[in-house]
C-alpha cells in the first residue's frame, strides 16, 4: 500500500487530501475538510494523520508514505 498526502489552508479552515494506492486495486482518493483555523503545516500533518488512521482502520500493516511537505516528511 502507498499513501500520498497533502494539506492546504484557507481563511475558513483547510483541507486534507489522501490517496491510498493498494498493490492490487484501484486508487482510493479521500478528501477531508478541516473546520478550524490552521497553518499550512498543520493541514499537512492532519492529512498524514487522517491517512494513517484510515490505513489502521483497514488493517494495513505495511505502507509507503509520500508527501510534498519537507517539514512533515523529514521528521
**Ranges of H-type helices in 1-75:** 40-58, 70-73
Residues 30-69: tens digit of each pLDDT: 999 998 888 889 999 999 999 999 999 999 999 999 999 9
Judge whether 1 and 65 are in contact, CB under 8 Å.
no
| Structural domain boundaries enclosing 14 | 2-70
Q: Determine how many CB atoms are found less than 10 A away from the CB of residue 3.
A: 22
Q: pLDDT confidence of 71, banded at 50, 70, 90?
A: confident
pTM of the model: 0.88
Within a domain: residue 27? yes
Question: How many domains in the chain?
Answer: 1
Q: Determine how many CB atoms are found less than 10 A away from the CB of residue 45.
A: 20
CATH of the domain at 20: 3.30.420.10
Within a domain: residue 75? no
Within a domain: residue 58? yes
Within a domain: residue 66? yes
Within a domain: residue 23? yes
State the pLDDT at residue 60: 93
Amino acid at each position: 500500500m502507498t499513501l500520498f498526502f497533502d494539506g492546504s489552508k484557507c481563511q475558513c479552515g483547510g483541507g486534507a487530501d489522501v490517496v491510498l494506492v493498494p498493490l492490487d486495486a484501484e486508487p482510493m482518493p479521500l478528501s477531508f475538510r478541516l473546520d478550524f483555523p490552521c497553518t499550512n503545516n498543520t493541514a499537512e500533518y492532519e492529512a498524514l494523520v487522517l491517512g494513517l488512521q484510515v490505513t489502521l482502520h483497514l488493517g494495513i500493516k505495511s505502507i509507503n508514505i509520500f508527501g510534498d511537505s519537507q517539514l512533515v516528511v523529514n521528521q
